[in-house]
Amino acid sequence: MKINKHYMDIEETYLFSEVAERVRKFMAENHGAALIKMGIGDVTRPLCPAAVEALIKASEEMGTAEGFHGYGPEQGYEFLRDEISDYYERNCGVKLFSDEIFISDGAKSDLGNILDIFDVDNVVAVTDPVYPVYVDTNVMAGRKIVKLSATSDNAFLPMPFPGLEADIIYLCSPNNPTGAAYDRQRLQIWVDYANEHGSVILFDAAYESFISDPDVPRSIYEIEGSRSCAIEFCSFSKTAGFTGVRCRYTIVPAGLVRDGVQLRKMWLRRQTTKFNGVSYPVQRAAAACLKDAGHKQIMENIAYYKENARIMAETFEELKWPFTGGKNSPYLWVRCPGGMKSWAFFDDLLSRANVICTPGAGFGECGEGYVRFTSFNTHDNTIEAMKRIREIFS
């Protein structure tokens, strides 16, 4: 019996445990300090009424002989895939076939599991800073990883460079953690690169519903040539507050063929073999969030978070702190004032403003000197946090 030794190569991420530890220590020494958490990576607004209603209705159905649903299709129910297909057409003019859409239970699941269909002997390109899951899932399999620096020099949007040899390319736009988003022109360059090199782009569009800028595509399939090189991952987690409900979808276009094989068919085979489909009531709730009434409700929640982002952006502009994100994203990636390092600024903000952010250094080497703020707190707390920051740093 041999274990998978590559697991020993995964670097332990101490980012969030270290944040928790420093906060714990601070609170032990400063009883009663009114902390405001501006590093929250999870939504906080309750589920919209349409989703709750659909969950309840489907749960009731399941208790009746006529309405009971057993095993569903591994790829997801047709009613939800049709809803998603309509949503793409309305949202960004992209036409998808129902059999290109795969419903699953979560971002991490699909982003990790998709690697099953690729050989271990592929070079993977990720950005730095990066969502750690892209790296860890490939380290676990023993793949070689190259890092593309996201810095102020490239507006935090790394581009292909001469000599880059990447088989699998992760792009997250709008980005976690930087909040930067690729415009059409930049994304076209990546799509052209992938088609020329036979690479596959894994496009994480988890934050598409935060996009305001008309130049920023909501789906990679708005870009010419993308249907022969890109897989798109999208989610109800941030769009509809489903982080605790669990539903997402992955698009594998029919035109995406490598080594003479449709990747859509390989993914279908992977899913029918290693997945049982998403909970029926959950799929009903997801579908409800894409229909008129539900969609209006979820966009109100998005607007709530975006207003928080606006308040923060206004503050950082006033303070002349360079930052990216906030406009098309719930995240703001802020340069630490006075050339401070990430953890030093984290400590300073914690002790003087009692505000918690996330040190950028935890997301990769290029994150050093930055911190991440998120817009998932309440208006009141966001306003209060910004007031404290303004008073201290003005």
> According to CB under 8 A, which one of 181, 191, 231, 278 is a site residue for a second copy?
278
User: How many Cα atoms sit within 13 Å of 86 on the Cβ side?
Assistant: 13
Tell whether residue 195 is a contact of a second copy (CB under 8 A): no
Q: Which residue, 10 or 319, has its beta carbon nearer to a second copy?
A: 10
The whole-angstrom separation of Cα 243 and Cα 118 is 28
Q: Which residue, 343 or 363, has its beta carbon nearer to a second copy?
A: 363
Q: Is 171 helix (H, G, I), strand (E, B) or coil?
A: strand
Give strand pairing partners of 262. Answer: 257
Q: How far is the CB of 215 from a second copy (least distance, A)?
A: 30
Q: Which residue, 223 or 245, has its beta carbon nearer to a second copy?
A: 245
> According to CB under 8 A, which one of 19, 36, 117, 356 is a site residue for a second copy?
117
The whole-angstrom separation of Cα 196 and Cα 250 is 24
Tell whether residue 384 is a contact of a second copy (CB under 8 A): no
Q: Is 249 helix (H, G, I), strand (E, B) or coil?
A: strand
Distances (CA, A) of 372 to 37, 314, 339: 11, 16, 16
Q: Is 125 helix (H, G, I), strand (E, B) or coil?
A: strand
Tell whether residue 146 is a contact of a second copy (CB under 8 A): no
Site size for a second copy (CB under 8 A): 78
Tell whether residue 170 is a contact of a second copy (CB under 8 A): no
Of 1-9, 144-152, 210-218, 321-329, the segment contacting a second copy by CB under 8 A is: 1-9
User: Contacts with a second copy in 256-275 (CB under 8 A)?
Assistant: 258-259, 261, 263, 266, 269-270, 273-275
Amino acid at 316: F
User: Contacts with a second copy in 31-90 (CB under 8 A)?
Assistant: 42-49, 51-52, 55-56, 59-60, 62-65, 67-72
Q: How far is the CB of 98 from a second copy (least distance, A)?
A: 19
Q: Which residues of 163-179 are buried (b: 16+ CB within 10 A; e: fewer)?
A: ebebbbbbbbbbbbbbb
Q: How far is the CB of 16 from a second copy (least distance, A)?
A: 11
Q: What is the DSSP string of 180-207?
A: ----HHHHHHHHHHHHHHT-EEEEE-TT
Q: Which residue, 2 or 320, has its beta carbon nearer to a second copy?
A: 2
Contact between 281 and 59 under an 8 Å Cβ cutoff? The reply is yes
Q: Which residue, 269 or 379, has its beta carbon nearer to a second copy?
A: 269
Of 83-91, 114-122, 215-223, 318-326, the segment contacting a second copy by CB under 8 A is: 114-122
Of 130-138, 206-214, 336-344, 347-355, the segment contacting a second copy by CB under 8 A is: 130-138
Q: Is 251 helix (H, G, I), strand (E, B) or coil?
A: strand
Tell whether residue 16 is a contact of a second copy (CB under 8 A): no
Q: How far is the CB of 314 from a second copy (least distance, A)?
A: 26
The whole-angstrom separation of Cα 258 and Cα 190 is 18
